[in-house]
Amino acid sequence: MIKTIIRINFILLKIPETESLSNVKDNYFCVDYIIKQMKTYQI
Amino acid sequence: MNEHYSNNEEAYIEKLSTNLGKLKLKTPWIMASGTFGYGYELKEVTDYRFIGAITTKTITRKTKAGNLPPRLFQINKGLLNTIGLANAGMEDFKDGIFPLLKDIEPRLILSIGGESVDEYLEVIENLEGLKKVSAIELNVSCPNIDISGKNLCQSPDRLSSLVKLARGITSKPIIVKITPNEINTAGISNLCISAGADILNISNTFTGTFLTFPDLKFVLSRPLGGYSGKPVFPISLAKVWQTRQELNSPIIASGGVEDLKSAISFLAVGANAVSIGTGIFKDYGLPKKLSLGLLTYLKKRDITIDKLIGIASIEDNRGE
């Protein structure tokens, strides 16, 4: 699920999904936001 | 949230329409280039009825993979990036991506970039026939192309020449996305308007960098990146206000909008529309939330959006 949100954000940025997953701790899509997004949009 | 509006949203949304010169927007919210894909990607999770316009990823002549990773780093509640204009290139955009955008409800703004004036012009000419495109945005301020962070805004003669030449080959409104990294934002803006631009976008990301500790290495693959998000908002707000004091041209305000207060503040200092960039990563529902929040605000103050634009004053703020 968390990967799904990250993937959407990286689709918006047009950079590869693999890149995001190697750097998840340092990127903008921190866990609080991800959980909130998942609940709100039922992703 | 705002249940009052939930059953008759379309009628209420009409109260949010705003004009960028001849370009009428349904709402003042414009999705910023580089943070909203090409524009079709979020149809399943974002309510497009509340978006005034979508700006595409910046399109260049050839396909660009962008800069090497790492190219994102979160610092101080903001985002440092060196994406490097990763995009499909103009031919693939026209043939493969644009068909996906033909039927979207918001207006479409085409962001164009390049490493030379000739490249910008070639892309504009190539894509001029796309009728769904309501305006062209010249991205002359990306800090992630030249490794030293330089861009066309640091070359007034070339910038002026680009805008003049672009004016000669497109009938669509021209937006120029200005850099925030030069002190004289209003001066650069004035130069663009004099050269034939219709609308100003103030502004792009701020040049920034950050080091790891204790080993002191740049966090991105390049020394410099573009910084965006909530921390840049007060500086962006000042730049919009400064520019509005000197120019009457339509202004899109960009920089750090993540909530209703910041969005309304941009309008109050004179912006005609407000760009949503990094904020969408945190909340895919931001355009709707801002729309319903703005409607409530206008109703409470009993003013129209036209009256709100430029309403900020020293007197009104004293004592608060």
- Helix, strand or coil for residue B84? coil
- Helix, strand or coil for residue B87? strand
Strand partners, B175: B137, B199
* Residue B266 CA: distances (Å) to CA of A22, B95, B243, B250: 36, 37, 12, 13
The Cα angle at residue B293 between residues B276 and B288, in degrees rounded to 5: 50
Instruction: Assess contact for B217 and B141: CB atoms under 8 A.
Output: no
Q: How many angstroms separate the CA of residue B313 from the nearest CA in chain A?
A: 35
In b/e form, how buried is each residue of B226-238, taking b as 16+ CB within 10 angstroms? bbbbbbbbeebbe
Contact A12 B41 (CB under 8 A): yes
Q: Digits of tens for pLDDT over chain B (320 positions)?
A: 444 555 566 777 789 999 999 999 999 999 999 999 999 999 888 999 999 999 999 999 999 999 998 888 888 888 899 999 999 999 999 999 999 999 999 999 999 999 999 999 999 999 999 999 999 999 998 877 777 777 887 889 999 999 999 999 999 999 999 999 988 999 999 999 999 999 999 999 999 999 989 999 999 999 999 999 999 999 999 999 999 999 999 999 999 999 999 999 999 999 999 999 999 988 899 999 999 999 999 999 999 999 999 999 987 555 55
Instruction: Assess contact for B199 and B252: CB atoms under 8 A.
Output: yes
Q: How many CB atoms lie under 10 A from the CB of residue B298?
A: 18
**What residue numbers bound the domain in which B56 lies?**
2-318
pLDDT for A24 equals 47
Catalytic residue among B97, B142, B199, B224: B142
The ipTM (two decimal places) reads 0.77
Q: List, in order, residues 6 or more apart from B81 with CB less than 8 Å away.
A: A13, B71, B72, B73, B144, B205, B220, B225, B226, B228
pLDDT for B6 equals 56
Reported as a single tens digit per residue, the pLDDT across A18-27 is 776 555 454 4
Contact A12 B283 (CB under 8 A): no
C-alpha to C-alpha distance for B282 and B279, rounded to whole angstroms: 5
C-alpha to C-alpha distance for B210 and B216, rounded to whole angstroms: 9
Question: Which of A4, A6, A13, A37 should one mutate to test binding to chain B, selecting the residue with the greatest count of B CBs within 10 A?
Answer: A13
Contact B72 A41 (CB under 8 A): no
C-alpha to C-alpha distance for B311 and B293, rounded to whole angstroms: 18
C-alpha to C-alpha distance for B129 and B15, rounded to whole angstroms: 32
Task: Give how many domains chain B has, as a whole number.
Answer: 1
Which residues in chain A are contacts of B45 at CB distance < 8 A?
Answer: 8, 41, 43
Nearest to B72 among A14, A28, A36 (CB): A28
**Residue A32 near chain B (CB below 8 Å):** no
Nearest to A12 among B36, B74, B81 (CB): B36
CA-nearest of B168, B163, B86 to B125 is: B168
pLDDT for A27 equals 47
Instruction: Assess contact for B153 and B180: CB atoms under 8 A.
Output: no
* Residue B273 CA: distances (Å) to CA of B12, B16, B76, B224, B263: 18, 10, 26, 29, 9
Nearest to A14 among B37, B45, B70 (CB): B37
Active site residue B142: yes
pLDDT for B306 equals 97
pLDDT for B281 equals 87
Question: Which of B41, B282, B288, B289 should one mutate to test binding to chain A, selecting the residue with the greatest count of A CBs within 10 A?
Answer: B282
Question: Which of B58, B72, B79 should one mutate to test binding to chain A, selecting the residue with the greatest count of A CBs within 10 A?
Answer: B72
- The pLDDT-based confidence of A29 (bands split at 50, 70, 90) is low
Look up the CATH number of the domain holding residue B224: 3.20.20.70
| Predicted TM-score of the model (pTM) | 0.92
